[in-house]
Structure 1
Amino acid sequence: MPASRTLIASLICATAALGAAGCSDEDSSDQPFEGKSADRVAAEAVAATRDATSLRMAGKVAADGRPLTVDYHVDTRKNCTGTMVADQASAQIIHAGQVTYVKGDKGFWASAAKNTAGGRKDTRALAGRWVKVPVGDASTTGLCDKQGFLADMDSDKSERKGMTKGDATTVDGKKAIPLTKKKAGGETVTMFVAAEGKPYILKLVQSGGKNAGTVVFSDYGKPVHATPPPANQVIDGTRGGQTS
């Protein structure tokens, strides 16, 4: 996987602009969130999403023009299961009990070795095996940090202006209102907010530019079943590749 940090950066790039949204006051009596500006709706959506005990993020994005597919189910305690695919590389992720396990194919480990200074060069023995990775390895676990990921949505103060509401629509059968921002670089970012029940973020879409993509949010509040793989099937990457 070409430095999975690019994956994380791509997702954060698609969401950072939407932290507290903009200052549009376009309201319509037949639209959800009547009387609330786009910035207030977006702020409530970010807060509701952050407060959710768990969520699932799935979709296709791009980092510097390279396609990436992700599917992560995470909770506030960093329990996490996920998959990521890019080019000729793919990996499964489990984060449980403060430990992260990665099961990548040959392409994933070959890329990981190439992109890590002093990294292990012969990675053939790792392909298809569960590997315990060092704590805090953001290249594989960044999306398992739900609260940290969502905090990045509030990070760029300069991007919180100029959003507008669109007409009510649906996302996976759920009524939603889109909030859209057109950026100076030709990119358009749209956040779809649930119009019924809690105002969760249901989908993020970025079009134009190098990092176009779509991420759908679902399974709010559902338990994350992150079960560690059997110890005899794990290579301990924190101890030079020994079997646990």
Structure 2
Amino acid sequence: MTGPHLGTRPAAWTAAIVLSVTGSGLVGSGVAQADDIGDLTAQQIADRARDALLDAHSLHLRTHGDLGRDSTPMSLDLTLDRSGNCDGSVDLGDSQGSVRIVKRGNDVWVRPDADFWRNQVPDGGAAFAAILNGRYMKASATDPRLLTLTKACDPHTFQKLVSDNADNDAGTLNKAATTTLGTASVVPLTRMRDRTTLVLYVAATGKPYPLRLTLRGDGADATADFSAFDKPVPTSTPPPDESFDINALLGRPTETA
């Protein structure tokens, strides 16, 4: 099982929006306190928001929607930390399937749904689903067959995409008046590009974390929400009676040189 639609795709999906709003210039002056940002320019606020995001030890990431230009709508709901612990799910959209993921230390549990087996593993997927009967596949976090899944649980994947690709600052970034997002006070930053509107909502109190990113126009309609910064990932893992050894299902992975 290769999981061709997962792996870096969720991270790339969100990083694409982050970079579209914040642009280039990763070298900054450190994370400013939010009570400083009212006097900063839009780009300075965006830089500090990006720094705060990259410095976070853990976070809850929720995304949904369509980036446009023939992309497939998808969503993810993950809590993850820098140690690689993770709890959540990825939904490929359009009834293509979803996968529940739990990663703790050196172990990972994945539970694809029936749509995933049918669409992503058409040759034998139904048989695998029947054997699992709703249980998780348990494996080593380094199992090569699940690396495309476990990458979605690693914040370094997302953070590296942001760092390596921060080279597009086309379009003017504008700062709007402080407003509210739910119960949070935020400063909206807007960038117009190629008939699309990108908005970054930055916390106006506490650390200047990015709390929401939106992309609208030219076929795109996407949102990414960030929360629970530096809060622990849930520690509970599936019990043995709800788990099935991946090697018993798929055989042992082939050794590579």
TM-score interval, normalised by the smaller of the two chains: 0.7 to 0.9
- In structure 1, the partner of 2:81 is 75
Distance 2:197 2:150 in 1: 28
Pick the aligned partner of 2:94 from 49, 65, 87. Answer: 87
Counterparts of residues 213-232 of structure 1 (less than 5 Å): 213-232=222-241
Distance 1:32 1:177 in 2: 12
What letter corresponds to residue 129 of structure 2 in structure 1? R
Pick the aligned partner of 1:198 from 183, 186, 207. Answer: 207
Paired residue total = 231
Deviation at 1:210, TM superposition (A): 4.2
Distance 1:138 1:213 in 2: 26
Deviation at 1:194, TM superposition (A): 0.5
- In structure 2, the partner of 1:25 is none
Q: Cα distance 1:131–1:211, how it changes in 2: closer, same or farther (>3 A)? A: farther
Structure (1 or 2) with the greater helix fraction? 2
Distance 1:234 1:211 in 2: 38
The 3-state SS of whatever aligns with 1:190 is: strand
Is this contact kept in 2: 1:82–1:94, CA < 8 A? yes
Is this contact kept in 2: 1:79–1:96, CA < 8 A? yes
Pick the aligned partner of 2:15 from 12, 16, 23. Answer: 12
Pick the aligned partner of 1:150 from 159, 169, 187. Answer: 159
Q: Cα distance 1:156–1:202, how it changes in 2: closer, same or farther (>3 A)? A: same
TM-score, length-scaled by structure 1 = 0.80
- In structure 2, the partner of 1:108 is 116
Distance 2:203 2:21 in 1: 15
Deviation at 1:220, TM superposition (A): 1.4
- In structure 2, the partner of 1:44 is 48
Is this contact kept in 1: 2:111–2:136, CA < 8 A? yes
Pick the aligned partner of 1:207 from 216, 219, 223. Answer: 216
Is this contact kept in 2: 1:109–1:127, CA < 8 A? no
Is this contact kept in 2: 1:20–1:40, CA < 8 A? no
Q: Cα distance 1:50–1:158, how it changes in 2: closer, same or farther (>3 A)? A: closer
Distance 1:70 1:207 in 2: 19
User: Is the deviation greater in 197-206 or in 104-113?
Assistant: 104-113
1:179 aligns with 2:182: no
1:198-238 per-residue CA deviation (whole Å, 9 max, x = no partner) reads 00010010112344211111111211114331234322335
- In structure 1, the partner of 2:62 is 58
- In structure 1, the partner of 2:128 is 123
Structure 1 stretches (4+) deviating beyond 6 angstroms?
none
Is this contact kept in 2: 1:132–1:236, CA < 8 A? yes
Q: Cα distance 1:124–1:146, how it changes in 2: closer, same or farther (>3 A)? A: same
TM-score, length-scaled by structure 2 = 0.77
Distance 1:11 1:138 in 2: 19
Unaligned runs of 5+ in 2: 26-34, 252-257
Deviation at 1:73, TM superposition (A): 0.7
User: Is the deviation greater in 101-110 or in 194-203?
Assistant: 101-110
Is this contact kept in 1: 2:23–2:167, CA < 8 A? no
Unaligned runs of 5+ in 1: 23-30
**Between the two proteins, what is the percent identity of the paired residues?**
27
1:3 aligns with 2:12: no
Is this contact kept in 2: 1:17–1:156, CA < 8 A? no
